[in-house]
Every structure is written in C-alpha cells, then in structure tokens.
Amino acid sequence: MSGLRISYATIVPSLFQPMLAFGEAVAATSIGVKLIDLVFLRVSQINGCAFCIDKHARDLIKQGDDWQRINSLVGWEETTFYSERERAALAWAESVTRIAETHAPDDLFNELKKHFTDVEITELTYAITLMNAWNRLAISFRQPVNRAPSVEEAVRILQK
C-alpha cells in the first residue's frame, strides 16, 4: 500500500477543521464516548477503513473495554457481550451505514426507541454519519495505519 495520496487535513483546512469540530460536538453528546467509539469501530469495520478500525479499537481499550468484546464486534449478533442498548445502536449503525440497501427500516428504528430518547437517536445518527464521512476520507486518501511498537520495543524506547 502506498502512502497518503493527499494531505487532506492540511490542504483544505476550511473543510477539515469543521469536521474536527463536528467530532468534538459528537463526543460531547449524551450517549457517551464509549458507545460512540463502539459504533465508530463497527461502522469502520463495515467500510473497511483500517486507519479508523485501529484508532477506535485503541480508544476502546483506553476506556477500559476488553479485547474479547472488541474482537467479537464484527459478529456482535452472535455473542452476549453487548447490552440491549448497545445492540440497538449497532443494528442502527449498520443500517445507516448501508442506507442504500436498508433504507433504515421501521423495525430497527422502533427497537432503537426502546433504548434511546429522540435526542439520543439524533445524536447517534449524527455520530454514524460523521464516522462514515471520516471513513470515506481516510480510505479515499489512503490514510496509513502506523504500526504500534511491541511491548519489548516500547520498553527499549523508554529505556533510552
């Protein structure tokens, strides 16, 4: 894989900066950062955005989520690792991400209404929309995933 095609973060800052502000607004919503990152990770898995998958898996670990939940997210429907609220959010995220195929069906929306207020549903849908936009930018411009050092490498770096 080649490097970054265009430095989209710096070449048109008048468009990039509002995306960052949108992200900050989403992070400040009432639905919670951990659920947002779980949804961001699932959306990124669907879209195949390696950079975003790596980022949001790491963010979830930093927030105290465990590897089993993160590794099982791609098959979330087949596990008991996620709450009913998380499951409703994940189903909605998948539907909105695949909107041309699903058209956001009423049954998923009605299930969502059992677990979220109208404000939270709107916040969640904005979050899903944002992640889809970030995925499309990162994939289109080939945002590279930086390899994290192994534990041994990190210890060597810190000892220098």
Residue 4 lies in a domain: no
pLDDT tops 80 at residue 151: no
Could you tell me the two tokens for 12?
Answer: 């048109």
Q: What is the pLDDT of residue 72?
A: 97
Contact criterion met (CB below 8 Å) for 113 and 96: no
Residue 44 inside a domain? The answer is yes
User: Could you tell me if residue 29 is inside a domain?
Assistant: yes
CATH number of the domain residue 119 falls in: 1.20.1290.10
> Rounded mean pLDDT of 57-84?
96
* Whether residue 146 has pLDDT greater than 80: yes
Q: Is residue 3 part of a domain?
A: no
What's residue 147's pLDDT?
77
Give the structural domain span for 30: 9-159
Contacts of 73 (CB under 8 A, 6+ apart): 38, 41, 42, 45, 90
Average per-residue pLDDT for the chain: 94
- Note the pLDDT of residue 154: 56
Residue 47 lies in a domain: yes
Q: How confident is the model at residue 73 (pLDDT cuts 50, 70, 90)?
A: very high
pLDDT tens-digit readout, 110-130 = 999 999 999 999 999 999 999
Does 47 score more than 90 pLDDT? yes
Mean pLDDT score, 76-93: 98
Please determine, for residue 8, whether its predicted confidence score (pLDDT) is greater than 90.
yes
Distances, alpha carbon 53 to alpha carbons 1, 70, 79, in Å: 17, 10, 20
Model's pTM, two decimal places?
0.90
Is residue 2 one of the residues assigned to a domain?
no
Q: What angle do CA 125, 126, 127 make, to 5 degrees?
A: 90
What is the arithmetic mean of pLDDT over 98-109? 98
Residues 6 or more apart whose Cβ sits within 8 Å of residue 99:
none
Examine residue 14 and state whether it is found in any structural domain, yes or no. Answer: yes
Domain total in the chain: 1
